[in-house]
Structure 1
Amino acid sequence: MAGTGGRPRRSGVVSSGPREEILTVAAALFAEKGFSATRMSEIAEASGLRQSSIYYWFSSKDQLLRAIMEQNRVSLSAARVLVDRAEPAAARLYVVLYHDVVQMCLAPLNFYALEQTAHEQPEEFADFGLDYAELVRLLRDVVAQGVAAGEFVDVDEEDVVRTALSLTEGTQHRFHAGRGDVADVARRADAAATMAVSSLLREPGSLPAVVAAARAGIAGFAATGP
């Protein structure tokens, strides 16, 4: 591995290694200065690494940007897999919302800041809007399936999904704003997913079974209990 000399890290974020530190710093600089105006040398300096060390992990700014975006695709990946599964819609919805909170809390940048950056730099962050629209569409399908199967009360699927995502996004915002403890992420994710799903259930008493199914895992996606 390349050396990690240079100045002490200045991001103020506790990370699990150089790669995560680089992503944290790059995301903040892209938001502050713009993608085009940010130089790899600036990312290296702010990370406390030599520029050669940055290139060890990422060959270009484009690769850095793709890695940042990939951190926000866990829930989308789950939704893509789970949308057509045979398991109850409530358990599938819970799993996706749970992972949505976890991925956003553990991401280096507050989702709202990333969203604002995407609005201000639409060309570089075009995938952000496309990913979000796809997530909404897939979750809308899951909710519609739950209504059709009698699991959920009759609702406007679009409104329900937008409200549920507002809940997960608000949860991660409070986590980032309050410098939350990583050990607390699972509890926050469970609370948000439980609140969203329980409001839809035609039979509220079925909630424990829904959560148990989600924690047991569906198609490789499991919600680890707090």
Structure 2
Amino acid sequence: MTGGTDEGPRRVGRPRADQLRPASGRPPREELLYAAAELFTAKGYAATTTRAVAERAGMRQATMYHYFGGKEELLAELLESTVAPSLELARRLARDVERPAGLRLWELCRSDVMLLCGGPYNLGALYLLPEVAGARFARFRRMRQELKDIYRELLDGTGVGAELAGDRAGLVLRNDLVFGLIEGVMLIHRADPGRPVAAFAEATADAALRIAGVDR
């Protein structure tokens, strides 16, 4: 293999043509992300090596380094993929001032749960990794904070926001509870992965609005 240690980035040259297409037919970069998601959630991030990810994806470790510099880069992209669609929706909902804020907040909650629980792997559980506090994950943390801020903006636009206009700490607390519930569904989903996700998402969104004291 061209390169050095198991975890060090080695992007030297172009991968051989016979290493570019795993058996699944997915592009190599996507196949590596699938493999990393499976191993990180099943075996644990710390216990997974880049060699194991490459082998699970059906390619050489040197080929993997052509696409990703190491485990942190794989994890960062996986984490960002769990936030980006919700953040895009949240930005649209924040601009849609013609609809009641409570309805928009409900829609964001429901969609967020669908994203966190609708995939084949429980990626939301990776939020709890201590490594996520590192510098490599700053972009993920900024994205997540912006999403949380839009949750609060929508909550602020409801009757509850007017009620708590003089109690910003109270508004922040309610938003923390709502946001914590939405992200916490990953633990419930992990305990019962067979639960229909669509019904689960709607029930969770209903519960979030009740916690916040908001009507749709």
TM-score interval w.r.t. the shorter chain? Answer: 0.5 to 0.7
* 8 Å CA contact retained: 2:79, 2:126: no
Q: 1:118 to 1:91 in 2, by over 3 A?
A: farther
Q: 1:58 to 1:159 in 2, by over 3 A?
A: same
Q: 1:90 to 1:101 in 2, by over 3 A?
A: same
* 8 Å CA contact retained: 2:35, 2:57: no
Of the candidates 72, 87, 92, which is equivalent to residue 81 of structure 1? 92
Report the AA paired with residue 50 of structure 1: M
Shift of 1:99: 1.7
TM-score w.r.t. the length of structure 2 is 0.67
* 8 Å CA contact retained: 1:4, 1:53: no
Shift of 1:173: 1.1
Q: Please identify runs of 4+ aligned residues in structure 1 that moved more than 6 A.
A: none
* 8 Å CA contact retained: 1:110, 1:173: no
Q: Which moved more, 1:51-60 or 1:63-72?
A: 51-60
* 8 Å CA contact retained: 2:178, 2:211: no
1:31 aligns to what SS in structure 2?
A: coil
Task: Could you tell me which runs of 5 or more consecutive residues in structure 1 were left unpaired when the two chains were aligned.
Answer: 6-16, 205-209, 211-226
- Report what 2:204 is aligned to: 192
**Partners of 1:20 and 1:187 in 2: CA distance:** 28
**Partners of 1:136 and 1:63 in 2: CA distance:** 24
* 8 Å CA contact retained: 1:118, 1:128: no
Report the AA paired with residue 77 of structure 2: A
- Report what 1:122 is aligned to: 134
* 8 Å CA contact retained: 1:93, 1:142: yes
Cα RMSD over matched residues?
3.4
Q: State which structure, 1 or 2, has the greater radius of gyration over its C-alpha atoms.
A: 2
Q: Does 1:42 align with 2:52?
A: yes
Shift of 1:149: 8.2
Identity %: 19
Of the candidates 137, 141, 154, which is equivalent to residue 142 of structure 1? 154
- Report what 1:2 is aligned to: 21
**Partners of 1:130 and 1:114 in 2: CA distance:** 13
Q: Which moved more, 1:79-88 or 1:23-32?
A: 23-32
Shift of 1:56: 11
Shift of 1:105: 1.4
**Partners of 1:30 and 1:76 in 2: CA distance:** 27
Q: Deviations over 1:15-71 (max 9, x none)?
A: xx946632413544672248xxx42x22122x2612279749945446633430232
**Partners of 1:103 and 1:171 in 2: CA distance:** 11
**Partners of 2:176 and 2:52 in 1: CA distance:** 37
Task: Could you tell me which runs of 5 or more consecutive residues in structure 2 were left unpaired when the two chains were aligned.
Answer: 1-19, 25-29
Q: 1:109 to 1:124 in 2, by over 3 A?
A: farther
